Structure 1
Amino acid sequence: MGSSLNGSTGSVAVVEAESWWRKCFLLLWASAAAIKLLVASQLPLFVDEAFYWQEGQRLAPAYSDLPGLTAWLTRLGVELGGQHVLALRLPFLAIAAIIPWFVVRMSARWFGEVAGWQAGVLCLLMPLSGTLGLLAVPDVPMALAAVLCLHAVARLLRQVNAFNAVELAFGLALGALSHYRFLGVIGMGLMALLLLPQGRRLLRDSRVWMALSVGVVAWLPLLAWNADNHDAGLRFQLLDRHPWRFHLEGLFFLLIQPLMVTPLLCGLLWLVAWRGGREPGWSAPMRYFALAGGVSTAMIFTLGFFTDIERISFHWPLPGYLALLVAAPALLAGWSPRWRRLLWATMAMGLVAAMGYYAMAGSPGLRQSLADNKFYPRNFIGWEPLAVAVRDELAQMPEGSRLLAGSFKIGAELGFQLGDPDIAVLPHALNDRHGRTAQLALWGLIGDGRSEVPQLLVVNPADQRFRDLLARYHQLCEWFGPLPGPTTVSIDHGRQRFLLFRLPALSAPQPGPCVTPAIAWVDTPLPRQVVGDRLEVTGWAFKDGVGLRSVEVLLDGQPLQLADYGRALDVRAVWPASNDPQHPHVGFAAQLDLSAVPAGTHWLGLRLHGNDGSSEDWAQQRIELRR
């Protein structure tokens, strides 16, 4: 009787735990969906999203940078909801909302109902998966493809039937249409199967090979595109973007993972990867989750020492983490209550921080506070004010004037803002580094800017390194001749700065010496320097072709004092190509009296007046005034 009573009490406890975790999951899932809808509606379009939108306006089986699915989904979003960032992201938000349910289902089937709801909560709280869908990027459908394949393979390890094989085929096809990186997911999944005796038997089944054949067929559009375009996409994804030599920056990739996943969960997932494949009492499907996730993350961590370090890649291990999440509750149950509570708390804080970053990017006031910080979200910012300025400039130009973008980023973002996917783009190293040159050339949107009608050229000086800026300006002179004085669009204290040039109709470059926008540097004070009532501002500035008439010091965007410009300061050792006629007299200095200025944070800037009548505001820097 005592045994029966204990068993009954244990069953009640399990039912209560299941009910409690189910409520937690449902509440968190609904809250996360609502918050993501709100944030996604306010978050400006990321540059890659804008290019996927541009691709979606020209539906094709595949593109230079990706298979077709991401572009198709962006097109579906704007067709259903109109030309708005939330509409474009809605298909991705919907897909992201499905993924935690698959994690719940897999974990519940193999580890119990309580573990299933716990795995779902882990998936919702982990920053990498919890923020999934906020951006219209290929990682979203690729993550769904990964969990579909995981679900199908786990079921096939238990029973091979037509339904499970069809699910695997669908997942493989979805992944093939999502990203080149899904090849790695397939490879890691096959390696995990080969590590299991049951997996090796499964790979001898003809129904599994039929599913794999469907997955192979789904790659044909991408292979056909590459065959027709000299393997441009394959070369970029597999060769051009990766150095394929050892570099210690891979350590940064490893160190950032605990931040993206949260430290305790990261440790738990690595523990699952280490122990799960040989955990006593675990069935083949249970071990498969651990092996697939472990092999995947281990290989990606290893490749991090040999692959691309310029573009964001911290999200690459996500498919492996999703596999490990399925098995994570089984090992979490062995932790003490204190460590479990600490894990849930740190995950909640991590998700709030990740969501907060995206919310900050969508809030002009919060965003300005990071204007001089390395975490400033530059690739999200400035496109709406730029579009307003472009409309105003075009309204003042002859009818029929066309828009010309300095890089694919500007062309795609302005295209979305203006509803025009046909904005021409100049050649730029950015187009090459992001694998977009071949696609732009196929659309006939890339060239040297020659035009029979006037053009409005839009460039962003930050699209190249500062030391390469003058060379880029001189390249513009080669195409257009002397550049007219630009209109400056400055956002967030100049952290995002665009230059707009009204160009006449051109069949050949205009004659004359190369006239460029101004280039400047403030030597003192240093950024974020604490200053007093008396402040000396020194630096240098030049403007190729015509020189500068004066340099004006600004405080918080308002003119404060005219600097003493024309001091002897030779910068030609750093800028040997400069043709400013006033070299070496390009230094400036100003003695500022800040006694009437309130203490606190202020922004110091420059206004550069050219001898050609131009006027440009340079980027500002933060100073702290204390008394």
Structure 2
Amino acid sequence: MQESAEDNRFIAYIVANKWMAFAIAFIILLRFSFIGVMGAMPQDAYYYFYGQHFALSYFDHPPAIAWILRAFTDLFGRHVFVIKLADTLVTIGTLLAFYRLSRCFLSRSRARNGLLWLYSTLMVTILSLVSTPDVPLLFFWCLSLIAVYQAVFEERKAYWIWAGIAMGLAFDSKYTAIFLPAGAVLYLLLSQQHRRYLWSPWFFISILLFCLTILPVVIWNVDNNFASFRFQSSERVGGIEFHPLDFFGVIGHQAAILLPVLLGVLCYYGYKFVRKYKWHITRIPASQLFLLCFFVPIFGIFLLISPIYWVKINWMMPAYITGIIWVSTWVTLKYLRWQWICSLVVHLALAVEIIFYPVPIHSDDTMIGWSGLGAGVKELAAEYPDDFIFSADDYKTSAMLNLYLGRMVYSKNIMGENALQFDFIGTDINALRGRNAIFINSLTDVNDAVDELAFIKKLSPFFHAITPLPPIVVKQHGRVVRKFLVFRCMDYHPPLLKD
């Protein structure tokens, strides 16, 4: 009866707050419409490229997102909207799993509010429309926490099995998932009530199943000299520099993906919580302690290292799963209304940017212009059918051309430089000796080609002659939005590779 009354009050609140109702309806419509409207992002193309070269794991990340995109594109075809559909459907699964997890801690009305908090964020829009390892990570993250909760709080021993498998699948999505078993161990260490599970055979079975589930990633790393593990650990540490203002940059981009209202709510209740409990961990209710063990370590660690290492916008995403559930215990509908009004403004701006592109993005991390590049390079490939095609940024242009052309497009490995996953697909560049090539160089600023033209000197040792061709110019609404320099490179000489 009480939950029915709360449901009625919630419906009455939504009806009375028409702006909030409009915002919810608009953002639902926007996200689904962009499955077909939004162009491919470089990340979409790169992880699609992963999947087209099936492997146990990959250089930058574990394999889950690649396997998902391979399954969808094999079933429904090599289309951008199929890639977006895959991201959207997995993210819907995440939202459903999040609600199920919320119900472990909250009443139905509070859990529904928590779902609305999460759904309002730009984070969900990114997950729905851009292929990244975070897409499957957050899905398996929620499933893992449901299973651990059932095993610990409901004493359902079989759920230790599902917890181990789900945590392993999360790790097969992204290495950040190591915080899942770490968070479980941290909670069991801090909880007097549940500490006994640390010595339970069921807990060890869970860890064993975790280890078995991540075997594809481990085997790939063993076979490839631990390339991925090294890239994501020691090689990243090598880039440490002290930039104290980056702390505020991280706060800024987290406010962008959560929206300022939600980030403010998290900080406010975090402050109140510290004042109330200080270091008296034993006084913290078990359910709150559980949620915090999967929120505070991720959020806190990345925030602490931000002055010495640039923290990417998506690294903290898993923390917000339990963080949102935690604050939903107290936060009122009044703040949720302001969150949705803020979300409406942000998504309207996003829609205008995607459709009309009023603010140029001086970066290759954009959905604008890539299909035009694909069409232009198809014409070049027809004119010079025996030439191979390559680019020389980290992965973006090469991956996008692989997607739009449906053929192998090479990267910096042509110059003997490290080329991320392009180095791990068995390419024999010596087989290209003597062939001519088409080189594509993306301009991040259509009005500034100085650096890109200067880069051509780096190609000189590998070709007998390099001739500029007309650039590929992409227009939208009568305005130049992207420009790509094109060069024909004659008689390829591969670099001398070290043994």
Note whether the superposition's TM-score is higher than 0.5: yes
Amino acid at match of 1:320: A
Q: 1:28 to 1:159 in 2, by over 3 A?
A: farther
Q: Percent identity?
A: 18
SS of residue paired to 1:457: strand
Q: 1:439 to 1:281 in 2, by over 3 A?
A: closer
SS of residue paired to 1:423: coil
Residue 424 of structure 2 is matched in structure 1 by 442
Residue 14 of structure 1 is matched in structure 2 by 6
Correspondent of 1:370 among 359, 365, 372 = 359
Question: Which protein, 1 or 2, shows the higher relative CO under an 8 Å CA cutoff with sep ≥ 6?
Answer: 2
Offset at residue 385 of structure 1 (A): 1.2
Matches within 5 A, 1:46-85: 46-85=41-80
Q: Work out the CA distance in 2 between the residues paired with 1:12 and 1:74.
A: 41
The alignment status of 1:315 with 2:314, answered yes or no, reads yes
Q: Work out the CA distance in 1 between the residues paired with 2:416 and 2:450.
A: 15
Q: Work out the CA distance in 1 between the residues paired with 2:115 and 2:212.
A: 33
Correspondent of 1:202 among 197, 203, 221 = 197
Offset at residue 301 of structure 1 (A): 1.0
How many residue pairs get aligned? The number is: 479
Asked if the contact 2:368/2:481 (under 8 Å) is kept, the reply is no
Amino acid at match of 1:330: T
Q: Work out the CA distance in 1 between the residues paired with 2:196 and 2:55.
A: 39
Asked if the contact 1:202/1:208 (under 8 Å) is kept, the reply is yes
The alignment status of 1:261 with 2:258, answered yes or no, reads yes
SS of residue paired to 2:318: helix
The alignment status of 1:173 with 2:173, answered yes or no, reads no
Amino acid at match of 1:324: G
Q: Work out the CA distance in 2 between the residues paired with 1:506 and 1:12.
A: 73
Offset at residue 329 of structure 1 (A): 2.2
Correspondent of 2:115 among 116, 120, 125 = 120
Q: Work out the CA distance in 1 between the residues paired with 2:292 and 2:125.
A: 21
Matches within 5 A, 1:358-437: 358-360=350-352, 362-363=354-355, 366-367=356-357, 369-371=358-360, 378-397=365-384, 399-407=385-393, 408-420=395-407, 422-427=408-413, 432=418, 437=419
Q: 1:396 to 1:449 in 2, by over 3 A?
A: same
Residue 607 of structure 1 is matched in structure 2 by none
Q: Work out the CA distance in 2 between the residues paired with 1:378 and 1:138.
A: 16
Amino acid at match of 2:159: N
Asked if the contact 1:145/1:174 (under 8 Å) is kept, the reply is yes
Q: 1:114 to 1:508 in 2, by over 3 A?
A: closer
Asked if the contact 2:243/2:308 (under 8 Å) is kept, the reply is yes
Render the CA deviation track for 1:330-369: whole Å, top value 9, x for unaligned. 2214xxxxxx42x234322443355445534542xx11x2
SS of residue paired to 1:424: coil
Render the CA deviation track for 1:393-431: whole Å, top value 9, x for unaligned. 22223x4333233343222101111112x2222348998
Q: Work out the CA distance in 1 between the residues paired with 2:161 and 2:21.
A: 29
Residue 182 of structure 1 is matched in structure 2 by 177
The alignment status of 1:346 with 2:338, answered yes or no, reads yes
The alignment status of 1:500 with 2:479, answered yes or no, reads no
Q: Work out the CA distance in 2 between the residues paired with 1:188 and 1:431.
A: 39
Residue 588 of structure 1 is matched in structure 2 by none
Residue 331 of structure 2 is matched in structure 1 by 332
Render the CA deviation track for 1:81-117: whole Å, top value 9, x for unaligned. 2111111232221121122223323333322121111
Correspondent of 1:93 among 84, 88, 93 = 88
SS of residue paired to 1:379: coil
Render the CA deviation track for 1:256-291: whole Å, top value 9, x for unaligned. 322321222112223444555877997412331134
The alignment status of 1:460 with 2:446, answered yes or no, reads no
Offset at residue 12 of structure 1 (A): 6.6
The alignment status of 1:475 with 2:458, answered yes or no, reads yes
Matches within 5 A, 1:212-251: 212-242=207-237, 243-248=239-244, 249-251=246-248
The alignment status of 1:485 with 2:482, answered yes or no, reads no
Q: Work out the CA distance in 1 between the residues paired with 2:218 and 2:84.
A: 27
Asked if the contact 2:414/2:494 (under 8 Å) is kept, the reply is no
Amino acid at match of 1:221: P
Asked if the contact 1:165/1:211 (under 8 Å) is kept, the reply is yes
Residue 136 of structure 1 is matched in structure 2 by 131
The alignment status of 1:108 with 2:103, answered yes or no, reads yes
Offset at residue 66 of structure 1 (A): 1.3
Q: 1:473 to 1:246 in 2, by over 3 A?
A: same
Amino acid at match of 1:393: L
Asked if the contact 2:243/2:307 (under 8 Å) is kept, the reply is yes
Q: Which range moves more in the overlay, 267-276 or 143-152?
A: 267-276
Two-structure CA RMSD over aligned residues (Å) = 3.4
SS of residue paired to 1:111: coil
Q: Work out the CA distance in 1 between the residues paired with 2:288 and 2:414.
A: 49
Q: Work out the CA distance in 2 between the residues paired with 1:15 and 1:111.
A: 14
Q: 1:257 to 1:326 in 2, by over 3 A?
A: same
Offset at residue 124 of structure 1 (A): 0.8
SS of residue paired to 2:484: strand
Residue 284 of structure 1 is matched in structure 2 by 286
SS of residue paired to 1:475: helix
SS of residue paired to 1:502: strand
Q: 1:377 to 1:57 in 2, by over 3 A?
A: closer
SS of residue paired to 1:307: coil
Q: Work out the CA distance in 1 between the residues paired with 2:128 and 2:107.
A: 28
Q: Work out the CA distance in 1 between the residues paired with 2:73 and 2:160.
A: 34
SS of residue paired to 2:232: helix
Residue 516 of structure 1 is matched in structure 2 by none
Q: 1:90 to 1:507 in 2, by over 3 A?
A: same
Offset at residue 233 of structure 1 (A): 1.2
Offset at residue 322 of structure 1 (A): 1.0
Question: Structure 2: which 5+ residue stretches go unaligned?
Answer: none
Correspondent of 1:211 among 195, 206, 212 = 206
Amino acid at match of 2:306: G
SS of residue paired to 2:439: strand
Q: Work out the CA distance in 1 between the residues paired with 2:371 and 2:185.
A: 46
Residue 302 of structure 1 is matched in structure 2 by 304
Q: Work out the CA distance in 2 between the residues paired with 1:121 and 1:30.
A: 12
Q: Work out the CA distance in 1 between the residues paired with 2:366 and 2:3.
A: 53
Higher fraction of strand: 1
SS of residue paired to 1:48: helix
Q: TM-score, normalised by structure 2?
A: 0.85
Asked if the contact 2:298/2:316 (under 8 Å) is kept, the reply is yes
Render the CA deviation track for 1:458-479: whole Å, top value 9, x for unaligned. 222449x977545522111222
Asked if the contact 1:425/1:446 (under 8 Å) is kept, the reply is no
Amino acid at match of 1:319: P
